[in-house]
Amino acid sequence: MALIVQKYGGTSVGDVERILNVARRVKETYDAGNQVVVVVSARSGVTNELIARAKSISSKPDNREMDMLLCVGEQETIALLAMALQSLGVPAVSRTGAQAGMLTDKSHTKARITGVTGGDIPDRLAEGKVVVVAGFQGQTSDGEMTTLGRGGSDLSAIAIAYALRAQICQIYTDVDGVYTADPRVVKTAKKLKEMSYDQMLELASSGSKVMQARAVEFAQKFNVPFEVRSSFNNNPGTIVKKKISSMEDFVVSGVAIDNNESKITLRGLPDDSVTVAKIFQALAEDRIIVDLIIQNVGHDGLVNLTFSVNTDDVARAEEVVNKCLSQLGIKSTAQNAGKIAVVALVGVGMISNSGIAAKFFKALSEKNIKMQMIATSEIRLSAAVDPSQANAAAEAIHEAFELGKDI
């Protein structure tokens, strides 16, 4: 008998029929003699609908109230799935994130986990019940409801698997596993049998929609192996773990696209490191993640600075930066310079392998794709391009590195 944590995303529980399908899958696992904890997201589209309703009332809704509102989506799903399991003869009980012992800090809408106890889940499992847990949500030490940010149900599942010392953590989604590229964009994309935490983290950070980046970070920190697989078939998925076989035999593992990035430009900044440090410190304190950065020489000894952030954070980033500049007595202002797409090539030891960058740039130039910003790391090479060229860029890079070959 194994203790298994299964997570089902929004598309997997999108309507009543799909919830019943998940219940049947969980029953198979339960009937095989396993203890099962199921972590679920809100039904597909529900969170967006709730956000739209909030913004129709206020252009800047209060973050605490947003958390109170958004927690509704997952709580609907856990109740419906528990009912579905009960209708199949499986004893089941639902639990909110707070009841599952998911403790967080007080950063509403972007809360970070400070601890996870599992609540009374072990006791309910000992009674022979399946426990259905609301992902994405937690609770502060003083009882305030919080949410973990987009994709937070992945993080909930990994954290609960760690807390319960589960033998298996399965992340069920609408694809068969992790591919060398989005198979809906690149038709020759191939599924990877296994990959390292580092590779999965870079793919997630670069726009792959398979896993939340923070969930992968947590799994890596606490060494929680997990499998990404489809909730619509029984095909083997992709195992993500600390080390993978034959790591020395390949370099490149995948291409990712992030279509939800925007540029912010500041012109006429003093040419000193103190100003730049204070700008990015202010952004970090507000938990705004910066991806690509470029600095150019301006006029009269001044410099221009451009960086990218998630499009959802643009307005807040402008506000934070402009406040910082005002406090420094600098007349420059942050300006939204428009949306971009970030296309990233991910692999192992890329920076130490000659020719990788040359092949990457050549692939884009042959398709007349202009690169606006560039960044490199040990396992990632990324470029900002016009969103209209993102898919073509991914296809070109995927083809150049022959990622469509059988793995």
Residues 6+ apart with CB under 8 A from 401: 252, 255, 345, 359, 363
Q: What is the DSSP string of 202-220?
A: HHHHTT-SSS-HHHHHHHH
Is residue 113 within 8 A of residue 153, CB to CB? The reply is no
pLDDT value for 244: 60
pLDDT value for 176: 86
> What angle (nearest 5°) sits at the alpha carbon of residue 247, between those of residues 244 and 253?
95
Token look-up 């999965």 returns 200
pLDDT value for 308: 95
pLDDT value for 114: 96
Q: Pick out the chain residues at pLDDT < 70.
A: 205-209, 243-251, 298, 349, 351-352, 406-407
pLDDT value for 247: 47
**Torsion over CA: 154, 158, 161, 167 (sign):** positive
pLDDT value for 143: 95
pLDDT value for 347: 81
Residues 6+ apart with CB under 8 A from 215: 151, 154, 155, 157, 158, 204
Rounded CA-CA distance 232/234 in Å is 7
Residue type, 161: A
For residue 152, give the 3-state DSSP assignment. Answer: helix
Burial 164-201 (b: 16+ CB within 10 A, else e): bebeebbbbbebbbbbbbbeebbeebbbbebbbbbbbb
pLDDT value for 5: 98
pLDDT in tens, 235-259: 999 999 986 655 454 467 899 999 9
For residue 13, give the 3-state DSSP assignment. Answer: coil
How far, in Å, are 100, 143, 146, 277 from residue 161 at the CA level?
A: 12, 23, 20, 38
Instruction: Name 113's bridge partners.
Output: 104
